[in-house]
Amino acid sequence: MAYSILIVDDDKAIKDYVEAHLKCFNYKVKSAENAYNALKILKSFKADIILTDITMQGMDGLELTRKIKKTFDTDVMVMTGYSADYSYEKAIQAGASDFIFKPFRLAELDLRIKRVLREAGFKKERYKLLKELEKLAITDALTELYNSRHFFSQIKTEINRYNRYSRPLSLLILDIDFFKAYNDTWGHLEGDKVLMRIGKVINSCMRSMDTAYRYGGEEFAILLPETGLQKACMVGARIKDNICSQIFEPEPGTKRSITVSIGATELVKGEDFRSFISRTDKALYRSKETGRNKLTYIVSNPDNT
């Protein structure tokens, strides 16, 4: 892999000299004679490292470093002559990854560049690993939807947003009809296939702003920000119909379909997350009590459906 380096130095002789030698080390190199041109180049050139002089006309290397660190995900190494005007501490505080005095041996520069690249690689791997661990912590492994822990965290966040901006927020909770009987008849492995397929169906029916969760064993929840009850019911009906159209084959020659019951509510002013969830649960149970394979909604008055 050829790493990319941008050299920024208003001393043309040094700039050309360093550029020529870095190319001999198999780096992809571009150069700029001042900080302003460097920022323009970075809009189209993805540099792994920016190697900049400190003392330049106009914007100096430390100010350039600060601007780069605000905008671009790249490392900066700063160069300077023997001067008391700048220090290693100032360079690091500006965001630089390394500091090197002129004149330097090119072999030393190459070693320092490789060290910075190596440390950057470690940081990226560590960041990637942390993101993967964060995802695992909030994801249900079977359905690949968010888990119940994340649901309770997110519903509180969405209610706080509702309280700040008074934008509608709706909730769907759905439960698979007669799922215990399906498991008892065909076994838990076949039941897991149903759960996985339903997770995929829910994902395919949601809008980009919605989030879905495996709420319990065979229960799922969907948070719908910026959504009133009528639109939430439309999303729920689409999910219900799509699930009903799925055909499962728990054993060769045996085909089965699955239905779900759904409860829907819209958050009302002054309501906390417990009441919001409880109201949605009541709507879900009404769907079950009145025939299943249906959606029931409850508004602020539990007697109105």
Query: What are the residue numbers of the active site?
Result: 218
Residues 6+ apart with CB under 8 A from 226: 167, 168, 169, 209
Q: How long a stretch of residues is the chain?
A: 305
Is residue 237 within 8 A of residue 224, CB to CB? The reply is: no
Q: Is the dihedral of CA 198, 204, 205, 211 positive or negative?
A: positive
Which residue in this structure is represented by tokens 């968010």?
146
Strands 75-80 and 247-251 come out as unpaired
Residue 17 token pair: 């000299």
Q: Find the helix or strand (DSSP H, E) in which 205 lies.
A: helix 188-205
For 80-137, give the DSSP string.
E-S-TT--HHHHHHHT-SEEEESS--HHHHHHHHHHHHHHHHHHHHHHHHHHHHHHHH
